[in-house]
Amino acid sequence: MIRQNPQRANRSRAMCSLALASLLCLSWAPGALAAPLETASVSFENLDTPPFYFKATVEIEVYEPGNASSPLFSASDYTYVYRLTNLLAPPPAGQVNIPLDIFEIGLGSVSTVSLATSLDDPTGVAPSAITTSETKVSFSFSALPLNPDAVSDPLILQSSSAPGDVNATVGLSSFVDDQVARGPAVLPMANFPCFDANVVKIQTHLYKSGKDKLKIAKGAIDLGLGNTFDPATDVVKLDLGNGLFVKTLPAGSFVQKGKKQRFRYKSSDGATPKIHFHLNFKKKEWEFKFAKGDAVPFTAAQNLPIVLTIGGAKGETVVPLYEKSSGSKKTKLRFKRHPRVDCGDDEDSDSHPTCHIGSHSHHHKRSCLSFLEVVYKAGTPDQETLQKFSDDIGHPSTFFVAAEGKSGSFHSSCSQCLSCGQLDDSGLFQITGIVDAKGTLAAHCGVVDASCTLDLEDPAP
């Protein structure tokens, strides 16, 4: 237990009532925590910025909806309980222990938070502020830092999103440590039967911050037969790059154009970044672009994960950013899918419920391969086999996405040699099967490794 002066508990309660007026400030009942869905403990340590040192732990408990033993009951949401302790650990020679003033828990790309608060515990330190953004929840202890040998009040999140691995940060000012913790990450959703992005353009200014541009054009989207978009009730959220850029538009943000299934959102005058978002369910297309924003985080990425959620459904894809050009003032990243993916239109929605290659695909280049198989984490107990057939094999590159979200790509235009056992740039994906339908790869590279050329027929589309 943490020893404090007799005035400590009253000060915590006063701070809670002032700083969290819009939230709940509840009492902590010792012994109330029992039978959680999950428990975990995560260690944080600052070793990178001497002479300032800290070592801390975060104890985590997760309660499923309807669990009566939860310290803050919810019939519909998961309850996440965090307890941050600043350990009185002997620092390395020449270093000193420092207090903590921040704990942040990340949010998954499609997660939501309905409540962020703390429970009043006489033995703990109350946060002076709690803020929620589209990507994280921050508990600040700036008014009363968490000194060594002190523990926080129980910190509470409630969310309809089930637990998963998210980023967490603990520290003081810029002296922080990041670790993986359990938090709201997975919101079970139906998938759009058809979703993709065909054109991506990113332009960054090297010497002018906040002047960047990003555009996703000619995107394909189909909500599915019988499903509609209600702009008055449906929240729309776009996550680019697994949290590098997240935009959540609350219900009522989109304006319908006439009586057609066309909807548009435009940011207010003077807002930064300047955003245009179009949803056209008649043509089954979508488009997003921003200007006067910050796209620098994307310049180091080899691919761009895209997740679009509308109401209770989502679409997700990953596109490679393999075409890059860089000048003295600007850096450009581009992607253009050949052949283009589309979802048909309203007239043929019954006959084309899923994505297919556009009617003009014969004008576009295609790979000479008809089959490409890779293994993710080859040789490990959790390895995963992934396969691409025919039109799913791209030109010039083909992307693979593992179940846990990691992605890798191989140059599949047949202008570069591929062989069995070849790894992608990340070293996580390994080629285990190739079918060179046109013989181009064999002609260019000599005899393709027979052990890697599988005797498989291209399945019917």
Residue-wise pLDDT tens digits, 394-434: 777 787 878 776 777 888 878 788 888 899 877 889 999 88
**pLDDT range class, residue 336, cuts 50, 70, 90:** confident
For 122, the token pair is 């006489």
- What's the confidence (pLDDT) of residue 325? 66
- What's the confidence (pLDDT) of residue 189? 67
Higher pLDDT, 289 or 190: 289
Average pLDDT (198-211) is 85
Residues forming beta bridges with residue 43, ordered by sequence position: 57
**pLDDT range class, residue 188, cuts 50, 70, 90:** low
**pLDDT range class, residue 348, cuts 50, 70, 90:** very low
Q: Where are the beta strands (DSSP E) in 294-342?
A: 303-310, 313-320, 323-326, 330-336, 341-342
For residues 223 and 356, give the distance between their C-alpha atoms in angstroms, rounded to a whole number.
Answer: 15
For residues 183 and 134, give the distance between their C-alpha atoms in angstroms, rounded to a whole number.
Answer: 14
For residues 177 and 171, give the distance between their C-alpha atoms in angstroms, rounded to a whole number.
Answer: 6
- What's the confidence (pLDDT) of residue 356? 55
- What's the confidence (pLDDT) of residue 59? 98
Average pLDDT (21-42) is 61
Q: Judge whether residue 184 has pLDDT over 50.
A: yes
Higher pLDDT, 80 or 303: 80
Q: Judge whether residue 458 has pLDDT over 60.
A: no
Of all residues in the chain, what percent carry a pLDDT higher than 90? 38
Average pLDDT, the chain: 81
For residues 453 and 425, give the distance between their C-alpha atoms in angstroms, rounded to a whole number.
Answer: 22
- What's the confidence (pLDDT) of residue 328? 65
Task: Report all structural domains of the chain as residue ranges with CATH numbers, in order of start.
Answer: 8-186 (2.60.40), 190-361 (no CATH), 365-452 (no CATH)
Mapped onto helix, strand or coil, the DSSP state of residue 384 is strand
**pLDDT range class, residue 126, cuts 50, 70, 90:** very high
pLDDT tens digits, residue range 309-320? 887 788 888 888
Average pLDDT (63-73) is 92
Q: Judge whether residue 140 has pLDDT over 90.
A: yes
Q: Judge whether residue 330 has pLDDT over 80.
A: no
Higher pLDDT, 247 or 104: 104
Average pLDDT (382-394) is 83
Any idea what DSSP says for residue 63?
A: E
- What's the confidence (pLDDT) of residue 256? 92
Average pLDDT (260-282) is 92
For residues 159 and 180, give the distance between their C-alpha atoms in angstroms, rounded to a whole number.
Answer: 18
Higher pLDDT, 21 or 448: 448
Instruction: Indicate the helix (H) or strand (E) that contains 255.
Output: strand 255-256
Average pLDDT (285-303) is 88
Q: Where are the beta strands (DSSP E) in 35-159?
A: 38-45, 52-53, 55-63, 78-86, 96-97, 102-106, 115-120, 129-132, 136-140, 150-151, 155-159
Average pLDDT (362-391) is 80
Mapped onto helix, strand or coil, the DSSP state of residue 347 is helix
Q: Judge whether residue 352 has pLDDT over 80.
A: no
